Structure 1
């Protein structure tokens, strides 16, 4: 165990040393919108900027559009010189530039747009209620105060406070992507911003509670369509393409798309590793995001592994029994169908189908959804691991046990399975390690796992290096410890054979 921990520590030290290494970043060559042609442009996937910049890809100029799940990922790529510019909404752009002195916004705006809340086409009554509430908070100045609290000279001076005495009945669920400051972002572990306060004001007017679900931007419309959320608010622009699938409320504010580039004259001051670590993890107790994500990751992986072992064992027994005796034909057909579907489709697609389709109209705990998705997926691979272990046992042992008067069932339980388990133990451990790392896609249904915890910190601090390295380190330590425990178990099992 000490040997493995020492190896992990060496990796840790190497990673932290690398954080201090600087690489050369190319100078900025984009000084106006006209210069974007032929460049590498970063956008957030599914946004208005993505739609508009896509036209550049078709003009034959060699323009490359790099699409990122989060705006801050595009900003990090820009800082590192992987792309030449980022097209994004002006208010988030100002927040990015404020905390990244080596970046600047071009004076020339890209396009003007209006924001609205997306609502399912099947809920016209909800749309009417939200529009009524919007009109009221616009007329009485509440919406202006909310916006002024986050933008301009009076920022922080007019916080929205829910009125006393509101009788609440029911809950409004808002889908958002909390990486879009000042519209929605994390502050002290809570999602705040213009959209969050506006949604709270609407909920107060309607006499309802508000629940905010954080998810990937391109999942918001899907969540609203499937009923997982009542509406979406994430600095979303009304477009003809979106209107084919979703409805929108009245607009509540106007914004514009701008271009962010590197500032050739800016003085870069990245700070040392200690300062970055304090800012990333100790300020506002941001390490709590990692701890919460770690807890969910371990819980999901452990429960899914148990579920996978049970499913895999049953499937393996049915298939191996059919192979050896020719019985259980229907069961074998069902098992083969299960293996073909699960092993032939990506885990992320299965997770999204279970959450948005199978449980589309059902309110269900996201951790339970993740356990089901990963457990069912793991079961298909565990089944083949168990079956290979069972089939590796020589048929002579079945014949010998039968000559001693043992039934097929007793032979299977007392003779075959103990040997098969020892044979497949390394493969089972490897499957659990893969499962542990696969849980990193849980963020696609808005669940805070270990990886998403690091993403939240990155969205707050705009530092890619340390949050990613710490997340990688935690995974590494868990895998090293697990591998050491499995090897210890293997030695103990081998010692029993002597």
Structure 2
């Protein structure tokens, strides 16, 4: 039960549904081969958001960060009963249903409630777990509050878009309901007194309380329907044969009470393991992985963004016939559109939108989106740099018999690059920080890794301090290197 950017994703889903031909939907309804496809592929891709213990969370297993939890155990049993291998794909909760609808994942197991609104867009299995809701408060404030009605005049937190968030909005009076991306963010807000309580599912609340002596849990007394407090597995709409097959597994899990007898105790062992050593040094591999992916995204995006920028700049400056005029208008439209829309939307559109036609990995999608975004800004830097070169330079080159292409390549662009170097350096520094946006599609850069560490250790501030320092080191180092080359160019 986690989400964010609900309205934004809802708009994207609507857009994607318009793109998908109606004939395709009818064909899927007429011929359901969902089970056959999975068994033929031999791999079942499970989408989850691993920031929700004990349902799904990250733990260090044999020195490697691994997604564990009771939902993962259920996913393993489903895959085993289907006779296929399980592959887990992590992303933000908000992105899961979109990923399911666009074919990025085959199923979603992430403590998801089978609400009527969700049933309109995806198919659900029978419920595999029935939980309840509690409110987490600071232990020092436990005497002040009894349930949801005690927060009148205060602020109650919940994950944006969850059923408990909706319940808090509807069933509390004179209470400000504050939504955030993840429970780890909400616990940090609670401990810093930005909110007085956090509404969450009972198993998750108990996980946080048992691993943080400064917290306590209260009964919520929310009036909730059974569907709002239960969890089920989601599949693409029309996957009847696959859902029917998995329902047999779910029924077996419930009949044998495997969640309480086996899966929850297993998750509890990992939770205890996480809290044995919560020092930031213990997670150096996670932060190192984050640095690696941040640099890969930044370097690749700068390279491709520069190439795109040159092409767009030259296209915008084209003069002459109908073709050049068309290129100029297209380049101008592209630059204005990219600069006029948020990068976050662009990242999600490349990953999910193009995912309707090409199954691009999250890292590749992130690089493409950021490169396309950077290219629009670099184009303006280059265009400004070209305009800053004195016309006499061009005239002198032409008088020596150089063609337009040679003049631009050997005379104008080198001088333009020298003039715009500070702007290009600033773009590089900006991309190091903007690479954090791709964490929403599951790319394991610094922000993503910090969220993992926060979920693992139940420590809110320390991982944030670490990544702030790491980002500063990266940007400061890059700035010094860029300044060195700038001085060299000025000297030359």
TM-score, normalised relative to structure 2 = 0.66
C-alpha distance in structure 1 between counterparts of 2:313 and 2:264, whole Å: 62
Match of residue 250 from structure 2 = 134
Residue pair 2:454, 2:460 contacting (<8 A) in 1 also: yes
Counterparts in 2 of 1:400 and 1:85: CA distance versus 1, 3 Å: same
1:8-407 paired onto structure 2 within 5 Å: 29-55=144-170, 59=173, 61=174, 63-107=175-219, 109-111=221-223, 113-150=229-266, 156=269, 279-283=278-282, 286-322=283-319, 328-360=324-356, 362-407=358-403
Q: Secondary structure at the match of 2:278?
A: helix
Residue pair 2:339, 2:377 contacting (<8 A) in 1 also: yes
Counterparts in 2 of 1:108 and 1:444: CA distance versus 1, 3 Å: closer
Residue deviations 1:4-38 (CA, integer Å, cap 9, x gap): xxxxxxxxxxxxxxxxxxxx999564333221233
Match of residue 484 from structure 1 = 480
- CA RMSD, aligned part only? 2.7
Counterparts in 2 of 1:391 and 1:100: CA distance versus 1, 3 Å: same
C-alpha distance in structure 2 between counterparts of 1:277 and 1:81, whole Å: 27
Residue pair 2:146, 2:219 contacting (<8 A) in 1 also: no
C-alpha distance in structure 2 between counterparts of 1:308 and 1:126, whole Å: 43
Residue pair 2:302, 2:374 contacting (<8 A) in 1 also: yes
Residue deviations 1:93-127 (CA, integer Å, cap 9, x gap): 11111122222112454355222122222322221
C-alpha distance in structure 1 between counterparts of 2:317 and 2:357, whole Å: 38
Match of residue 468 from structure 1 = 464
C-alpha distance in structure 1 between counterparts of 2:481 and 2:456, whole Å: 37
Counterparts in 2 of 1:321 and 1:395: CA distance versus 1, 3 Å: farther
C-alpha distance in structure 2 between counterparts of 1:149 and 1:309, whole Å: 52
C-alpha distance in structure 1 between counterparts of 2:214 and 2:442, whole Å: 32
C-alpha distance in structure 1 between counterparts of 2:212 and 2:276, whole Å: 17
- Aligned-residue offset at 1:392: 1.0
Counterparts in 2 of 1:390 and 1:34: CA distance versus 1, 3 Å: same
**Comparing 70-79 and 109-118, the one that deviates more:** 109-118
Residue pair 2:350, 2:369 contacting (<8 A) in 1 also: yes
C-alpha distance in structure 1 between counterparts of 2:237 and 2:414, whole Å: 57
Counterparts in 2 of 1:399 and 1:351: CA distance versus 1, 3 Å: same
Residue pair 1:321, 1:327 contacting (<8 A) in 2 also: no
Residue pair 1:303, 1:371 contacting (<8 A) in 2 also: yes
Residue deviations 1:295-330 (CA, integer Å, cap 9, x gap): 1111111111111011001111122233x9997111
Residue deviations 1:381-405 (CA, integer Å, cap 9, x gap): 1111111100111222222323333
- Aligned-residue offset at 1:84: 1.1
**Comparing 324-333 and 110-119, the one that deviates more:** 324-333
Residue pair 1:401, 1:411 contacting (<8 A) in 2 also: yes
Counterparts in 2 of 1:97 and 1:487: CA distance versus 1, 3 Å: same
C-alpha distance in structure 2 between counterparts of 1:412 and 1:327, whole Å: 20
Q: Which runs of 5+ in 1 are unaligned?
A: 1-23, 157-181, 189-275
Residue deviations 1:202-223 (CA, integer Å, cap 9, x gap): xxxxxxxxxxxxxxxxxxxxxx
C-alpha distance in structure 2 between counterparts of 1:366 and 1:186, whole Å: 31
Counterparts in 2 of 1:277 and 1:430: CA distance versus 1, 3 Å: farther
- State how many pairs are aligned: 350
1:427-446 paired onto structure 2 within 5 Å: 427-446=423-442
Counterparts in 2 of 1:411 and 1:280: CA distance versus 1, 3 Å: same
Residue pair 2:187, 2:460 contacting (<8 A) in 1 also: no
Residue deviations 1:176-222 (CA, integer Å, cap 9, x gap): xxxxxx9xx8977xxxxxxxxxxxxxxxxxxxxxxxxxxxxxxxxxx
Structure (1/2) with the larger helix percentage: 2
Residue pair 2:147, 2:221 contacting (<8 A) in 1 also: no
Residue deviations 1:343-392 (CA, integer Å, cap 9, x gap): 11100100001111111354322111111111111111111111110011
Residue deviations 1:70-103 (CA, integer Å, cap 9, x gap): 1121111111111111111111111111122222
Residue pair 1:186, 1:456 contacting (<8 A) in 2 also: no
